[in-house]
Structure formats: C-alpha cells, structure tokens
Amino acid sequence: MGEAMMLKGIAVSDGIGIGNAFVVGRKSLSYENRAVSNIEEELTRYHEAAAKFTERTNAMADKISANTSKKEGEILRGHILMLNDPYMSSEIEKLISSGVCAEEALSNVCDSFINIFSSVDDELTSQRAADVCDVKASMLSILLGVEEVSLGGLPPQTVVVAEELTPSMTSDINGENIVGIVTERGGKNSHSSIIARALGIPAVIGVEGAAELLKNGDKVIVDGLSGNIIVSPDTDTLRVYIGKQSSFNEESGELNHFRGKPTVTGDGKVKKLYCNIGYADEAVRARECDGEGIGLFRTELMFLNREEPPTEDEQFSWYKKAALTFRESSVTIRTLDIGGDKVIPYLGIEKEENPYLGNRAVRYCLKHEDIFRTQLRAILRASTFGKINIMIPLVTGVEELRAVKGIIANIKRELRIKSIEFDDSIKVGIMIETPAAAIKADLLAEEADFFSIGTNDLIQYTMAVDRGNSNVEYLYSPLDPAVIRSIKRIIECAHDAGIPVEMCGEAAADPLMLPLLISFGLDGFSVSPSYVLKTRRNISKWNKESADKIVQQILLLKTEREIREFIKAELKEIK
C-alpha cells in the first residue's frame, strides 16, 4: 500500500465513495495556431464539431432527464444554448472567416467570455465562466479528434480521477461501477458534477494535481460531504469512513421520505421550516433542499468583499430574485447586520474597544440613515414580487423598532408620491438576540409583527461568552438553563401578544433543542438548506404531550450538562 495522503477540493455531489483509482491520462488540447487558406472548409469543420457537440450533449441530457434529474438535464441543454448563442457563434465564424483556424477562433471567443464572467464577483456569474470552460474543452477535444476514454466498462468499485471529464466520457458513466469522481478542474455545473449528482455518485472537483498524484489502483476515499480525498488510507481511517458511508446512505434513504411534505409534529401540528441564506443565489439552493421559504437572509454578506456599497438597484435585484424564487411563500430579509466580527472598510466603522458591544447592526443603520434608507427602499420595491418581511437585527428596545418603522413609513410615502409600487402590508419583525430584548419581549411584542430568535447572539450575550472564542466554548450552549428560560419567555410573550415566533440561530437545527421548542410552541424554524430534511424528520418525531412531559423535568435541572445528558437519553428512547 502507498503512503497515506490527503487532498482537498470542492464537494459537488454528496456521499462517501470508497474504491480503486482509475486515472484518465492527461489529454493535450494544445493545437497549432495555423493560418487557414480554405475558409469554407474550416467553417464546415467548425459547424460539424458544433453539431457533434450538440448531438452528444442532447443525448446525454435526454438520458439524465428521463432517468434521474430533469434539472441537471436542463443545465446540459444550457451548454448547447451557450455554444449556439448568436453572438458567440457569429464571433467565432467572423474569426474563422478572417483566416484563423477553428480551434483558435473558438478558444479566443470562449476566453473572452471566461474573462468577463470571472471578473464579476458573483457566484452565478463565475459559474457561467466554468460552463464556458467546459464547452470550450469539449469542443476542442472534438475538433482535435482527441481519443476519448470510455468509462463504460470499468470494474466495480472504481473511483474515476481525471483532469476533467468531457461530455462523451461522462455519457458512459453508470452509477453501479463508479463509486466516486475526482477532477482537477470544472465547476459545480460542469459535466462531471452534473452527472455525479444525477447518478448519486460522490464527487469532488478542483483537486489540484489529482491526475498526477494518484496512480491506477490506489485505494481512494472520496468524501463528497467535506471535499476531502484520502489516498491509501490506513485501516483505522478506512473503518471510520465505512461507518460514515453507511450512516450517510441510511440517512439519505430515510430523509427522502420527507421531501415535498409539510413539516408536522407527530400529533399533526404544522410548523414552518425555512432556510437561512447569505446570497440571493442561495435561495435557489434553499428551494432545491425543500425549504419552505427564507427565514433569514443575511444581507450584509453581499456587502463584504467589495470597494463600495451596492446601489439601490443592485440590492433591488437581489431581493427581487429571492422573492421570485419563493413567490408563494415568504422571504424574511434582515437589514444590514454589520459591525462586531463583520467589518466592512468602506462603511467607515470606527475601531472600537469592544466591537460586539459597539456600533453594530441596527445601531449603525440608525446612525447612517442614507445607507439604511437605500436598503429599505430596495426591499420595499422588491416586495411586490413576492411576500417579503423586513427583520431588524440586534434590537435592544422599543425605541429602535419605532425609529425603523418611522423610516419605513417615510420611505413608503416617498414611493407613493413617485407611484412606485410596494407591498403596503409588509411585516416588520425583530430578531431577539440580546438579553435586553428577551427581558422586554412583552413590550416589543406589542409593536413588532413577528419575532425571530437569534440564538447565536442570544447565547453570546446571555452567557457573556464570545461566540468565536474556543477558550470559553464550554459555556456557549443553547441548553444552559439561562438560555432555555430566555427562549421560553420570548415564545410566551410573542404568543400572548398574538404574533408568530420563529428561530433562525443554529439552535433551530439542533435535535437536542426540539423537545423544548415543540413544548414551548415555537411556530417556525429557519435552518441552513442542508438541514431542512433532517429537521423535518426530527420534528416529526415529537408531539406536544411527550415534549411537555420531558420539558417539565428539564426545567427542574440546574446545569447544562445535566440537561444535555437527560435529553440525549430521552432521544435514544424515541429513536
């Protein structure tokens, strides 16, 4: 056995694959940039290659759409549209007509698209750059007649390792013999990733040097959950991964039962199950993961990594996109939650001794009304495209809520004067994530349209423990009696005032929290997209009566540890 080695890439298809490497040798796509004398012949050569690409890709899209995933099939058809795009094809033809060979014409035009797409700092656009790369490589291999390896007849338990897989190679892949895919290049939507997801084959892309470092027959573990590739694992590692593999397979089978179903407790109480997102594009993923809406859109993430604030129109397009993705459900947009750990240089936040206790979130927005108004105007304008709610972070008192509502009322007046449409009944809710808000939850509930409990900060401020400091991590828990009491009170105050209350902190996806949240009557959960099905399954295991019984005992316990052990033991019982 060779020396154990770990490589890292980007996980694009879930699951754990364990098998023997089959390394697809590097194919050279280099060509001689020759001048063309017979232009007609060169144009025909290009058109024939494009027709072959279209035919192969279509055949594969049909196969995928019919057998596995319609959506992945559509992505492939998008590649055909891209190559046949009138602008792209006319540019290529123009170059060939000027005497440039087909390979050079194709590469030139594709490269200029790749440059444009990669210069935009947006996930969807950079994905398009990867798509063009994929189309370019496939077309070059057809034009150059590069011999393609068939992946059809490989032995069982094979992990395919390649620089990149072309459409014709991937069309032979079947999910029975191939248990993992590792590539050096490609994007989330490149052919190999699409096929991998469609066939449920764990896959990792962007693994630098994989096709050089791995040898045929090497034992490989492909961790399509973390993006790790382990080559020649020792027996202990292998055992751990065999365990991970079987629990992943068991769980995915079970979780699929919950896809497309409403979220209900064992005794039939319907709960909302939303997603947390940080970028407008993630709304699509939230939908694919079966989220019922967006419970927390962390807008500040889109203000990071840029030189100046996004314009109103730019923000409008993000919020509109999210609203349209969940047109029939709701999208809760949190206003800028900057400061603390999220520093944005161009927003001119002064350096403070204690940034977590300083000028952050709603406090910053109320001091910088111009930036706040731009965001609120964008949200209000987008509100006609779906069901948008506005959520204010880090509220500590009624005066902040009133101030924000005042600004919103003012913007609404301006919009009305300009005859710009917006949803006049837009709800304005608050995050409860400070002890002050929890203690005054009764007062806030009278003036807020909804509550969402932000346990990430609520724990930090309640326990006086920095959420990112591992020295004090032992104190950071949603199961501490102080946090539990706080959550109980927040939910009671919301219900006494007749407003809904959700939770969007990480604790919403913690199975140990469920008896408490079901017993207290939490109305909705907002979790990261990959936790939707697990949370729906976990909620289905509880009913109010059994949760109440357990919670009565939990409330008598005095330490986090006792509570944790007690709930763990109960969870074993209900499995």
Which residues participate in catalysis according to the annotation? 191, 504
Measured from the CB atom, the residue of 31 and 356 that comes closer to Mg ion is: 356
Measured from the CB atom, the residue of 282 and 457 that comes closer to Mg ion is: 457
337 binds ligand PEP (CB under 6 A): yes
Among 505, 515, 524, 529, binds ligand PEP (CB under 6 A): 505
Measured from the CB atom, the residue of 180 and 454 that comes closer to Mg ion is: 454
Among 463, 504, 527, 550, binds ligand PEP (CB under 6 A): 504
560 binds ligand PEP (CB under 6 A): no
Shortest Å distance, C-beta 454 to Mg ion: 4
Shortest Å distance, C-beta 457 to Mg ion: 4
**According to CB under 6 A, which residues from 85 to 114 bind ligand PEP?**
none
Shortest Å distance, C-beta 452 to Mg ion: 10
Measured from the CB atom, the residue of 42 and 457 that comes closer to ligand PEP is: 457
Pairing of strands 270-277, 451-453: unpaired
Report the C-alpha gap between 440 and 385 in whole angstroms: 34
Q: Which of 561, 427, 419 is nearest to 501 (CA)?
A: 427
Any idea which residue has 């007649």 for tokens? Answer: 145
- By a kind-dependent CB cut-off of 5 to 8 A, residue 505 interacts, out of ligand PEP, Mg ion, none, with ligand PEP
Using the 8-state DSSP alphabet, how is residue 355 labeled?
A: G
What are residue 520's DSSP bridge partners? none
Shortest Å distance, C-beta 10 to ligand PEP: 24
Report the C-alpha gap between 2 and 215 in whole angstroms: 10
Report the C-alpha gap between 357 and 394 in whole angstroms: 10
- By a kind-dependent CB cut-off of 5 to 8 A, residue 504 interacts, out of Mg ion, ligand PEP, none, with ligand PEP
Report the number of secondary-structure helices (H) and strands (E) in the chain. 22, 17
Using the 8-state DSSP alphabet, how is residue 341 labeled?
A: T
Measured from the CB atom, the residue of 194 and 431 that comes closer to ligand PEP is: 431
Binding site for Mg ion (CB under 5 A): 433, 454, 457
Half-sphere CA count of 381, side-chain side, radius 13 A: 19
Shortest Å distance, C-beta 338 to ligand PEP: 10
Pairing of strands 228-231, 219-223: antiparallel
Tell me the Cα Rg of the chain.
27
Shortest Å distance, C-beta 300 to ligand PEP: 8
Long-range contacts of 321-325 (CB under 8 A, 24+ apart): 321/280, 321/281, 321/283, 322/277, 322/280, 322/283, 322/294, 322/297, 322/382, 322/386, 323/382, 323/383, 323/385, 323/386, 323/387, 323/388, 324/385, 324/386, 325/283, 325/284, 325/286, 325/287
- Residue nearest to Mg ion as judged by C-beta position: 457
270 touches 263 (CB < 8 A): yes
295 binds ligand PEP (CB under 6 A): no
Measured from the CB atom, the residue of 214 and 391 that comes closer to ligand PEP is: 391
**According to CB under 6 A, which residues from 419 to 478 bind ligand PEP?**
433, 454-457
Count the residues of the shown chain that bind ligand PEP, applying the rule CB under 6 A.
10
Among 191, 298, 321, 536, binds ligand PEP (CB under 6 A): 298
Using CB under 6 A as the criterion, which residues of the chain lie in contact with ligand PEP when the complex forms? Answer: 296, 298, 337, 433, 454-457, 504-505
